Structure 1
Amino acid sequence: MIRPLFYIVMMLLSTQTAYAASSHNSDSSSVTDKLTLDIGVFYANSDSNIAVTSPKTGGSFPIDFEDELLLAEEQYLPYFELTYSFNQRHNFFIDWKSLDRKADNNAVSQDFILEDIDGKDYLIEVGAKLNTELNIDILRVGYGYDVWQGTDYAVGFSIGLHTMFVEAVFKGTIGTCIPDSSLTSLCSNVVATPEVVDDTLTAPLPNIGIYGAYEFYHGWHFSAHAQYFSIKYDDVDGSLIDVRLGVETKFCDNWSLKLAYNYYDVDITIEKQRKMSNNELRTFDHKISYSFTGPMFALSYVF
């Protein structure tokens, strides 16, 4: 979903590299400026769920993508991170993770309704065969300032923005209904036919954080960052926790190896309304929760 952004970043990277090379002899301050690119993989143990509606009671409950819909809990996934450090204390960074999964469930074990997607409700019944895709891209951009510095350490604060691009696709024998103006219809007497339901969500969350690095042995660095935010604004309610601890070692000029452990948790709730008979009526909130924990490994190059 954000591959074009990745290509733009790589173009900027090439431009910056060429500029740095051409100005190296004329600007002595460029020695303290650096551009670092990390390309790596992380091992994610994922937990994700989405709020759905019970066709029997009308109440909402979470459907677990891993337990009920059989998406893989553990997998290796790619990520990249680009950091530009300049004027000794300033840092701009951008990173991206891609988490795409799909699975087949030959017999769903409980009834549920996917409510208010493009103005329709979709009923999935016990025993139905369902193919599920959950594609999540996580983009993080931000700025950090080193408040405290020493010969072997740096500690600073950051502000930034995490944005999740979520696409959930359901394929199978799915019933369709359009509820009446009282929203009392719970998809009864619906004929189930082969159907594809595609729901997308973009969830931006600003964040504040703290980070630090310490050279505990020549050529070996320990680094950490922690970012947090909680917001309720208009129809959006969300929270974010992002914690990473890692070790880096330089093995030759400009090249380093990085090993880290990351904990990431985000909860997004969007209040939804639908218009019926010229009235705005509240429906169940659109909610998705996602978290992953696991080690990360990257190859790092300094331009």
Structure 2
Amino acid sequence: MKLKLFTGVAIVLAWSGGAVPWAWAESDPARAVPWETFSVTLGGMLSKTDSVFRVGSGLGVDVDFEKTLGLETKTTVFRAESGWRFTENRRHRLDASWFALHRDGSRTLGFQFDVEKPDGSITTISTGTEISSHLDVDIYELAYSYSFVQDDRLDLAVVGGLYVMPVDFGFSASGVTVAEGGLTFSAPLPVIGYRMDFAMTPKWFFRSGTQIFYVDYNGFVGSLSDIRAAFEYQATKNLGLGLGFDNFRVNFEGNGSGLPGSDLDGTIAFENRGLQFYAKYIF
């Protein structure tokens, strides 16, 4: 619903902007099209996160980090990005990005459940136990995109990228580690998708994009999706300000040895969504 609203507003503004004389060359003769050569973006995200995990692929139950273990639900996430159009026609572009989602929490357990530890042993967590937990995720991406449609209003590109995403999670009861784990990919995860930049007026832009990943290999099943949409205002020649919506979702299940570079034995899934705000320095 939120993405549909963003798209609808973009169309209305684009239509109204059509009444304004369109003259990129007149407003800035040095820039015949509105697509920057290089940019650095710094921003944050007021996000809501839902996450579930299970240690061990046999016995044990899925544990909700937020409801069961008291992990923070709403957080502010820092994000950094850069983009470089490295050819004269500005159709070829490289992007690099990073954002971190580090959370912890504590709670008195309201029910009893069993956890299968990595060595196969079963640990019972009793009702009333004091639980401390953490979930730390760092997400790095390097992407290449090619603009197969590009003019002074629209830049539409196909995207191919690589994600590296170390995940560390665990919880302890009464100071004794009960379950801990990690998900580390030494080999990057490939993603495909699209990117669209639409110049509604010489100063207002609508930017959106989607990237997806899926693999089912030797006992490891994983999926990833990143959906983004934002309005951006170019306040000055070198400064843009943006506000948008982002939804990032992952779901991984492994047996400890299914995918090279992954040691996950169990399941981990999380969704991070919320309002994104940023400042962009344009070269």
Letter in 2 for 1:103: G
Q: What is the CA–CA distance in structure 1 between the aligned matches of 2:177 and 2:222, rounded to whole Å? A: 31
Pick aligned residue for 1:36 from 19, 34, 39: 39
Show the counterpart of 1:152: 153
TM-score of the aligned structures, taking structure 1 as reference length: 0.73
Gaps of 5+ in 1: 1-31, 175-193, 274-283
Q: How does 1:10-21 map to 2 (within 5 A)?
A: none
Decide whether aligned partners of structure 1 residues 113 and 149 sit closer, same or farther in structure 2, where only a CA change above 3 A counts. same
Show the counterpart of 1:50: 53
Q: How does 1:267-286 map to 2 (within 5 A)?
A: 267-272=251-256, 285-286=265-266
Decide whether aligned partners of structure 1 residues 239 and 53 sit closer, same or farther in structure 2, where only a CA change above 3 A counts. closer
Pick aligned residue for 1:291 from 265, 271, 274: 271
CA RMSD for the aligned pairs? 2.6
| Structure 1 position 260, deviation (Å) | 1.4
| Structure 1 position 105, deviation (Å) | 1.1
Q: What is the CA–CA distance in structure 1 between the aligned matches of 2:177 and 2:154, rounded to whole Å? A: 57
Gaps of 5+ in 2: 1-34, 258-263
Which has the higher relative contact order, 1 or 2, with Cα contacts under 8 A spaced 6 or more apart? 2
Show the counterpart of 1:183: none
What whole-Å deviation, never above 9, does each CA across 1:234-284 have from its counterpart, x for those lacking one?
A: 2421011111011111111311101111111111111237xxxxxxxxxx9
Letter in 2 for 1:156: A
Q: What is the CA–CA distance in structure 2 between the aligned matches of 1:197 and 1:153, rounded to whole Å? A: 50
Letter in 2 for 1:165: P
Q: What is the CA–CA distance in structure 2 between the aligned matches of 1:149 and 1:293, rounded to whole Å? A: 30
Q: What is the CA–CA distance in structure 2 between the aligned matches of 1:49 and 1:85, rounded to whole Å? A: 39
What whole-Å deviation, never above 9, does each CA across 1:70-111 have from its counterpart, x for those lacking one?
A: 111111111111111121111111111111111111335222
Q: What is the CA–CA distance in structure 2 between the aligned matches of 1:37 and 1:80, rounded to whole Å? A: 8
Pick aligned residue for 1:242 from 226, 232, 235: 226
Show the counterpart of 1:127: 128
Q: Which has the higher strand share?
A: 1
Show the counterpart of 1:137: 138
What whole-Å deviation, never above 9, does each CA across 1:125-171 have from its counterpart, x for those lacking one?
A: 22211111111111121100101111111101010122221111323
- Are 1:265 and 1:290, in contact at CA under 8 Å, matched by a contact in 2? yes
Decide whether aligned partners of structure 1 residues 120 and 268 sit closer, same or farther in structure 2, where only a CA change above 3 A counts. same
SS at match of 2:62: strand
Which of the pair has more CA radius of gyration? 1
Show the counterpart of 2:84: 84
| Structure 1 position 218, deviation (Å) | 1.9
- Are 2:109 and 2:126, in contact at CA under 8 Å, matched by a contact in 1? no
Q: What is the CA–CA distance in structure 2 between the aligned matches of 1:112 and 1:168, rounded to whole Å? A: 17
SS at match of 1:48: strand
Whether 2:101 is the aligned partner of 1:105: answer: no
Whether 2:237 is the aligned partner of 1:253: answer: yes
Q: What is the CA–CA distance in structure 2 between the aligned matches of 1:232 and 1:53, rounded to whole Å? A: 18
TM-score of the aligned structures, taking structure 2 as reference length: 0.78
SS at match of 2:174: strand
